[in-house]
Amino acid sequence: MDARLPSTRPRPTLAVWKFASCDGCQLSLLDCEDELLAVAGALDIAYFAEASSTLRPGPYDLSLVEGSITTAQDAERIRAVRAASKYLITIGACATAGGIQALRNFADVNDYIAAVYATPAYISTLATSTPIAAHVKVDFALHGCPINKTQLLEVISALLAGRKPDIPNESVCVACKRRGTPCVMVAHGTPCLGPVTRAGCGAICPAYQRGCYGCYGPAEAANTAALAAAWIALGADRTSLHRAFRSFNAAAEPFRKESDAHGDENHPG
Amino acid sequence: MSPTAPPGPDAQTAPVLLDRAGLQALVDALVARGFDVIGPTLRDGAIVYDRIADLAALPAGWTDRQEAGRYRLERRADAALFGYAVGPQSWKRFLHPPEETLWRARRQDDGFTITPEPPSPAPFAFLGVRACELHAIAIQDRVFLGGAHRDPGYAARRQGAFLVALNCGTAAGTCFCASMGTGPRAESGFDLALTELIDAARHDFLAVAGSEAGAALLAVLPTRPAGPEATAAAEAVLARTEAGMGRHLDTNGLKERLQANPEHPRWDEVAARCLACANCTLVCPTCFCTSVADHTDLAGTEATRVKRWDSCFTADFSFIHGGSVRASGKSRYRQWLTHKLAHWIDQFGSSGCVGCGRCIAWCPVGIDITAEAAAIRAMPGKAVGEGKGGNA
């Protein structure tokens, strides 16, 4: 442990912030287990409410931001987080794409409030759920629902070393092929979002003979229309296409556009 | 096998016959000689290559039915062990693995020390290498070993490998090795070559050696002489397979035609269907592209350099200062197809395609390299630089 960063240099400070989210991505940090001591050794954890009630004021060298912006208060709070942070990295589908709660963007949020809460008048919320990058400058985005802990450690390690993080933008197919998983679309006729989804999860679902659910959002250059045509050829109906593209990353533009192309749940294309 | 041996017929011994027990004896002999024996086996609805110790692991009685974007296992009427064409993987997975650590470095008080990765453990023996795959291995030999910059990891794995080839007894709907001149007969580049002979009366393997190592191994196996009837039966197997090719690629003048048509409208048309998912390149037994990434640990004391499969279909792969050279799906597909079928000839002296059909079957949207090449041949977009030999 004594061979790490020179002791004359103070450890960079880390803050972890939660906005509208399930906490799953923050848990990925706590889930580091074997590496957690190394994280605490390399970074001075100054603000991490999920882990410690000791919350120190900023500024911070690195802020990890989980969750989306769904309230006017949070729209203000993220500006304060940005102002207090040297680097701001968004973690997870909520922070990078608006999350599952961005389904409200396609509906009237007051209908949801009335359906969910006993006293709707107590609820003050925005009509939309938006990603952090819609509000402040983001230095790096780590995708996934939830994020992958190996990728999180890679980004932190890269930042500490002053190098580019090794987080490829390739499709899940690349991960399946490296792993040696036969394609579930070709070998079984199972509809899969892998060809248009960003890698990062390790291609878990196809390894268990399930189609990809698109947890990591659109891959670079995702040709969703071509994949949708292939799903239809495999017998998928437009309602299932609509729903497949309208999940954790529903508001990510390529997925939003493709889900819109297949109508809505009550009126499939 | 010497991986640098020029292509051409190797000295082959007179054919002999092995029965099923004799084939098991071959596997046993390879294991006993310290080889890591890799052969075909069923997994996740496909025939993949994996470690085997017993013939029971082979896909007895199974075949594969393949079309563009579609692969299905089906039962055969017999118990043939090699009664399929090719699966999603190729031997590239072992000779040119998906991920390889090149070296590790550790920080010291006064600098750092580099530890190279230990060489590969046991040498590989491959069981059931098809003619198209032998050609693919020969092509990767030229890529990795033929130039000024030899790949030491590939060289080590390739040098020690023992290749048991198999003359194909079945062709898939996606096969076109006959038109590429790469099969279905295993002509060279193997240590042993087998032809499976199966009918109501027998289940034998006609075997010939293609190297000294192959001949030495064959000499200790329980074989019996192969008469003219068995040799004729093996020829009939190859003739039937050749006649069963599901696809064809007319290569005459194709290089010039492709190189003369970078703006052909077909590139836009195929780009509309292409997912840019990279599957075609990763299943291709000759595609060799990799990227290299450096990793460091949290404490800043250890660094690792890894090499892994990459693809001309990713934006990162052609990313240079200022952006990606190939931003569009059109430019990526065009790069892949023209490199494979045209520029490869300029670069390495042969086509980069061996007609195995994997890119056709394993494309999730069924894009067919033979159809795309034929479309560009048949309908010139702009008749510039009509190459010599073009016959469209």
- Predicted-assembly ipTM surpassing the 0.95 threshold: no
The CA distance from A80 to the nearest CA of chain B, in Å, is 28
| Least CB–CB distance from A153: residue in B88, B275, B298 | B298
- Cβ–Cβ contacts within 10 Å for residue A72, how many? 11
Q: Does the beta-carbon distance from B277 to A229 stay under 8 Å?
A: no
What residue in A sits closest to B273 (Cα-Cα)?
A: A226
Q: What is the 3-state secondary structure (H, E, C) of B131-168?
A: HHHHHHHHHHHHHHHCCCCCCHHHHHHHHCCEEEEEEC
β partners of residue B104: B115, B304
Report CA torsion sign: A202, A207, A213, A219: positive
Hey, what domains does chain A have and what are their CATH numbers? 13-161 (3.40.50.700), 172-260 (no CATH)
Tell me which chain B residues have a C-beta less than 8 angstroms from the C-beta of A180. Answer: 48, 89, 93, 98
Q: Does the beta-carbon distance from B297 to A168 stay under 8 Å?
A: no
**Predicted confidence band of residue B387 (pLDDT cuts 50, 70, 90):** very low
The CA distance from B6 to the nearest CA of chain A, in Å, is 31
Q: Does the beta-carbon distance from B362 to A183 stay under 8 Å?
A: yes
Q: Does the beta-carbon distance from B316 to A195 stay under 8 Å?
A: no
Asked if B300 reaches chain A (Cβ–Cβ under 8 Å), the answer is yes
pLDDT at A8 over 70: no
All structural domains of chain B with their residue ranges: 16-100+122-243, 254-298+311-378
pLDDT at B132 over 70: yes
The DSSP element (H or E) to which A65 belongs, if any, is strand A60-66
- Identify the residue among A151, A163, A186 best suited for mutation to test binding to B, counting B beta carbons within 10 A and taking the highest: A186
pLDDT at A265: 56
Tell me which chain B residues have a C-beta less than 8 angstroms from the C-beta of A177. Answer: 98, 278-279, 282-283, 309
- Identify the residue among B275, B287, B324, B333 best suited for mutation to test binding to A, counting A beta carbons within 10 A and taking the highest: B275
pLDDT at A163: 92
Which of B369, B166, B181, B372 has its CA nearest to residue B279?
A: B369
Compute the count of residue pairs across chains A and B with CB atoms less than 8 Å apart.
Answer: 152
Region B40-49: what's the mean pLDDT? Answer: 97
The CA distance from A20 to the nearest CA of chain B, in Å, is 29
Cα–Cα distance measured from residue B338 to residue B289, given in angstroms and rounded to the nearest whole number: 15
* pLDDT tens, residue by residue, A246-259: 999 999 999 999 99
* pLDDT tens, residue by residue, B145-178: 998 999 999 999 999 999 999 999 999 999 999 9
β partners of residue B323: B320
Cα–Cα distance measured from residue B315 to residue B328, given in angstroms and rounded to the nearest whole number: 9
**Predicted confidence band of residue B223 (pLDDT cuts 50, 70, 90):** very high
Cα–Cα distance measured from residue A61 to residue B321, given in angstroms and rounded to the nearest whole number: 28
Q: Does the beta-carbon distance from A209 to B44 stay under 8 Å?
A: yes
Asked if B236 reaches chain A (Cβ–Cβ under 8 Å), the answer is no
**B 131-150: CB under 8 A from A:** none
Tell me which chain A residues have a C-beta less than 8 angstroms from the C-beta of B328. Answer: 221
What residue in B sits closest to A233 (Cα-Cα)?
A: B365
Asked if B93 reaches chain A (Cβ–Cβ under 8 Å), the answer is yes
The CA distance from B49 to the nearest CA of chain A, in Å, is 9
Q: How far lies B272's CA from each of A121, B330, B331, in Å?
A: 49, 8, 12
Cα–Cα distance measured from residue B266 to residue B272, given in angstroms and rounded to the nearest whole number: 10
Region A28-42: what's the mean pLDDT? Answer: 90
pLDDT at A33: 85
pLDDT at A9: 62
pLDDT at A61 over 60: yes
What residue in A sits closest to B69 (Cα-Cα)?
A: A186
How many alpha carbons fall within 13 Å on the CB side of residue A149?
13
Q: Does the beta-carbon distance from A189 to B70 stay under 8 Å?
A: yes
- Quote the mean pLDDT of chain B: 93
| Least CB–CB distance from B364: residue in A3, A35, A185 | A185
* pLDDT tens, residue by residue, B263-274: 999 999 999 999
**Predicted confidence band of residue B315 (pLDDT cuts 50, 70, 90):** very high
pLDDT at A268 over 90: no
Tell me which chain A residues have a C-beta less than 8 angstroms from the C-beta of B69. Answer: 185-186, 230
| Least CB–CB distance from A183: residue in B279, B294, B328 | B279
| Least CB–CB distance from A171: residue in B43, B89, B277 | B277
CB B37 within 8 A of CB B52: yes
| Least CB–CB distance from A230: residue in B272, B301, B364 | B364
The CA distance from A33 to the nearest CA of chain B, in Å, is 14
CB A166 within 8 A of CB A158: yes
**Predicted confidence band of residue B11 (pLDDT cuts 50, 70, 90):** low
